[in-house]
Amino acid sequence: MLMLAVTTFVFIMYFITDLVPVYKNKQWKLFWAYSVMMAFAYVLLFLISIGIDIDSPLKPVKRLIIAIWGLK
């Protein structure tokens, strides 16, 4: 819960300091890029804070490297 609270606080601060001026200046590409990236990060942090295990995206990379190089 504390992790979620801290995460939410940090994200709100960044939204206020960064995203509001971008919205006011009508920089829509930056606005959407910023929002999508932050939303994705927030969702993942939310899932981690409630104890959901997220698989590492490196696992397939590791399997591929082991397969290509024949590592044990």
Partner 1 sequence: MSKESITQKQSIVMMITYMLGSSMVLGAGSEAKQDVWLALLIAMLMSVPVMYIYIRFHVIYPDKSLYEILNTVFGRILGKIVAIPFIWFAFHLGALVLRNFLEYIKIVSMTQTPMFAFAIVMIISSIYGVRAGVEVIGRWTSIILPFLMLSVLIVTVFLSPLFDFGNLKPVLYNGFKPILYNAISALAFPFAETVIFTAVLDKIRDKRSLYKIYYVSLIFSGIVLIIISLRSILTLGAENVGNMYFASYAAVGLIDIGDFLERIEVSVTVVFLFGGYVKNSICLYAASTGIANVLNIDNYRQIVAPVGMLMLVFSLIIYNNTMEMFEWANKIYKYYAIPFEVVLPLIVLIVAEIKIRLTKKKKRA
**Tokens 């606005």, residue?**
31
**Footprint on residues 11-50 left by partner 1 (CB under 8 A):** 11, 14, 18, 22, 29-30, 33-34, 37-38, 40-42, 44-45, 48-49
Please list, in sequence order, all residues whose beta carbon lies within 8 angstroms of the beta carbon of residue 1, skipping any fewer than 6 positions away. Answer: 49
Provide the binding-site residues for partner 1, judged by CB under 8 A. Answer: 3, 6-7, 10-11, 14, 18, 22, 29-30, 33-34, 37-38, 40-42, 44-45, 48-49, 54-58, 61-62, 65-66, 68-69, 71
